[in-house]
Amino acid sequence: MSQQRTEPVRDPLEDELATPVGGMRVAVAQTGNGGNGLVHKAADMVVFWSGCLLFAVTTLIASLSARCLSWLLPGEFGARLGKRLIMAVFRADLAYLRFTGRFEFDLCALDALRADGGLVIAPNHPALLDVLLVASRLPRITCIMKAELWNNILLGGGARLARYIRNDSPLGMVKLAVGELGRGSQLLVFPEGTRTVRGPVNHFKPGFALIALRAGVPVQTVFIETNSPFLGKGWRWWHRPRFPVIYRVRLGRRFVVDGDAKTFSAMLERYFEDELRGSGTVR
**Bridge partners (DSSP) listed for residue 20:** 25
- Cα distances from 143 to residues 140, 187, 219, 281, in angstroms, run 10, 6, 15, 29
Q: Are strands 20-21 and 186-188 parallel, antiparallel or unpaired?
A: unpaired
* CA–CA separation, 32 and 30 (whole Å): 6
Residue 215 — very low, low, confident or very high, per pLDDT cuts 50/70/90?
very high
Of 28, 232, 218, give the one whose Cα is nearest residue 130.
Answer: 232
Q: What is the pLDDT of residues 32-53, one digit of tens each?
A: 343 467 887 888 888 888 888 9
Of 26, 19, 27, give the one whose Cα is nearest residue 198.
Answer: 19
Q: What is the pLDDT of residues 75-86, one digit of tens each?
A: 889 999 999 999
- Does residue 122 surpass a pLDDT of 50? yes
Residue 208 — very low, low, confident or very high, per pLDDT cuts 50/70/90?
very high
- Does residue 2 surpass a pLDDT of 80? no
Residue 223 — very low, low, confident or very high, per pLDDT cuts 50/70/90?
very high
DSSP, residue by residue, 139-167:
TTEEEEE-GGGTT-TTTHHHHHHTT-EES
Q: Which domains does the chain possess?
A: 32-277 (3.40.1130)
Mean pLDDT on 266-283? 83
Q: How many helices, marked H, and strands, marked E, lie in the chain?
A: 8, 9
Residue 24 — very low, low, confident or very high, per pLDDT cuts 50/70/90?
very low
Q: What is the pLDDT of residues 187-200, one digit of tens each?
A: 999 999 999 998 89
